[in-house]
Structure 1
Amino acid sequence: MNQGLDTRALLRLMAWLSPAFPIGGFAWSGGLERAVADQLVKNATDLEDWLATLMRHGSLWNDAVLFSEAWRHFEDAAALAEIAELGLAMAGSAERFAETASLGSAFVTAASAWPAPMLECLPADLPFPVAVGAIAAGHGVPADKALAAFLHAAVSQAVSAGIRLGCCGQADGVKILAVLEASIAQLSERAPSLTLDDLGGAAVQAEIASLRHETQHSRLFRS
C-alpha cells in the first residue's frame, strides 16, 4: 500500500476524527469523571500523567495495538471478527464495553458516507479502534498517520472532558496536548510492528475508576 498521505485521504482522516463527526464521543470520559471525583486527577499535571500512563500501560496502549492489527487485516472478515471479539472481551467494565462498542458502531455508520469494499468485511459489533483502523486502511491511509490522528483525537477528547470536569483550564489543556505530542508520535511510529502479542496493561487505577463510575450518582458523562 502506498505510504504517502494524499490530500483526499487527509481530508477523510480529518473529518472522521473531528469532534463534529457524529459518533457521540463527547458523551464518554473513559472513567476520568470518577478519577476526578476520587481526587486521583486534581489538576492539569495529574491529567497529563493520567493520559501518558494510559498510552504506555492502559487502554490507549491496547487500543493502539487493536487499531494496528485491524489496519493490517482490513480485507479479512474472519480476522477482523476475531480482533473485534477480543477487543470487546478486553473491556474492563460494562461502561467501557458500552463506550467502545457504541463508538465503533457509530463510526462505521457515519464513515459509510465514503463507500468502500472493506465495509462489507466489518463485523456487526466491534470496538472503536478496530473500526477506525480497518476503515483507515481501506481508504489507503498509512498506519502511522492514522494511528497518530486516532490517539490525538482520544487525548483531545479526554482533555476536553477534563476541562468540563474542572481539573484544568483551556490554556492548560492545550499545553497537555503539546507535551503529549511526542508520546503520540512515538507510539504511532510503532504501528507497523504492534501485534496482538503486545496487548496488556497495568493501569489498575484507571480500570477501577471505570468500574466505580458505574455507581456514581451525579455525572456528566456516560463512562
Structure 2
Amino acid sequence: MTDTLRVLQFGDSVFPVGAFSFSNGLESAVQHAAVRDKESLREFVGSVTRTAATGDGVALLVAHRAARAGDLDLVRDADEAVYLRKLNEETRTMTVRMGRKLAEAAGHIVGESLLTARMRDADAGGIAVTYPVALGVLFAALDLDEREAFAAHQYGAALMVLSAAVRLMRVDHLDTQAILFAVNETVPAMYEQVATAGLDEMQTFAPMADVLAAAHLHAHVRMFMN
C-alpha cells in the first residue's frame, strides 16, 4: 500500500511543481482553432501523450535504470537529451522549472538521493535538471517500478492539458475525465513501444505543436506559461 500511495502522491496533479501554470500547448491550440470541441481535444491529448512517450518517456526510463545503477553520468545525459529536444523556449522553461521543483521537493520530503546529487551538479553550472528525468530518478530512489514512473508521467502529461481545457473551452469535468479514462488505456502499449529504446532513439517530431508554441510565446493575452 505504501508504494501505491507514493505513486499517488508524486504523480498527483497538485503536487507542488507548478504544473498548473502550463497547458502543454493547449492554450495556443484553442486560440488558433486547432482544438475546438471534445473530439479535437481528445485528438490533441492523444498527440501530446504519444509525443511524451516517445520523447520524454524514453529519457525517464533511461534515467530510472541509471539511478538504479548509481550512474550519475547517464542521468545527466538523459537530462541533456530532453533539453536539446525542446525546440521552443516555453517547453524548455516548463521542463526545467518543473524538474527543479520536483528535485527540491524530493530532497525535502525523501532526503538525500541521486536526485539531490544531480541537482547540486546542475547548480554548479552543469546541465539543468528536467522533469521526466527527475521523475524517473525519484521513483528509482523510492524503489518504485519503472512502469509506474512511466504511467505517472503519461498521466501527468494528459491531465495538464485536460485541467487547462476546463478553463479554456466549453467542456466540463465529466468530458475531460472520459477523455483521460480513454487515454490511460493506451499507456501500456506506449510503454511496450519505448521500453527498449535508448536516448538516441527519442522521437519528438510534432511540428504543429512547435508552431503553436512559437505563436504562444508572442501572444498578447494568455493564462498559461505555455
Query: Would you call these one fold, judging by a TM-score over 0.5?
Result: yes
Q: Could you list the runs of 5+ residues in structure 2 that have no partner in the other structure?
A: 123-127
Does residue 202 (structure 1) correspond to residue 213 (structure 2)? The answer is no
Is residue 136–residue 146 contact of structure 1 (8 Å, CA) maintained in 2? yes
Q: CA deviation at 1:167?
A: 4.6
Residue by residue over 1:23-64, the C-alpha shift from the partner in whole angstroms, topping out at 9 and shown as x without a partner, is 1100011221001100001111111111212233x2443111
- Counterpart-to-counterpart distance in 1, 2:87 and 2:170: 24
Residue by residue over 1:94-146, the C-alpha shift from the partner in whole angstroms, topping out at 9 and shown as x without a partner, is 11110000000000111121124323442422110000011101211101122
Does residue 111 (structure 1) correspond to residue 106 (structure 2)? The answer is yes
Worse-superposed segment, 8-17 or 194-203: 194-203
2:34 to 29, 40, 46: 40
2:138 to 135, 139, 142: 135
- Counterpart-to-counterpart distance in 1, 2:115 and 2:4: 19
Number of paired residues?
Answer: 216
Q: CA deviation at 1:201?
A: 3.0
Does residue 69 (structure 1) correspond to residue 62 (structure 2)? The answer is yes
Q: CA RMSD in A?
A: 1.6
Q: CA deviation at 1:68?
A: 0.8
Q: CA deviation at 1:79?
A: 1.1
- Counterpart-to-counterpart distance in 1, 2:208 and 2:194: 26
Residue by residue over 1:133-164, the C-alpha shift from the partner in whole angstroms, topping out at 9 and shown as x without a partner, is 11101211101122112211221121011111
Does residue 213 (structure 1) correspond to residue 216 (structure 2)? The answer is yes
Does residue 54 (structure 1) correspond to residue 57 (structure 2)? The answer is no
- Counterpart-to-counterpart distance in 2, 1:138 and 1:194: 22
Which SS does the other structure have where 1:73 is aligned?
helix
Worse-superposed segment, 18-27 or 195-204: 195-204
Q: Could you list the runs of 5+ residues in structure 1 that have no partner in the other structure?
A: 1-6
- Counterpart-to-counterpart distance in 1, 2:59 and 2:53: 10
- Counterpart-to-counterpart distance in 1, 2:77 and 2:33: 38
What is the TM-score normalised by the length of structure 1? 0.90
Corresponding letter in the other structure for 1:119: L
Judged with a 3 Å threshold, the aligned counterparts in structure 2 of structure 1 residues 215 and 13 are, in CA distance, closer, same or farther, namely: same
What is the TM-score normalised by the length of structure 2? 0.89
Is residue 44–residue 168 contact of structure 1 (8 Å, CA) maintained in 2? yes
- Counterpart-to-counterpart distance in 2, 1:77 and 1:51: 33
- Counterpart-to-counterpart distance in 2, 1:64 and 1:212: 26
The equivalent of 2:75 in structure 1 is: 80
Is residue 87–residue 126 contact of structure 1 (8 Å, CA) maintained in 2? no
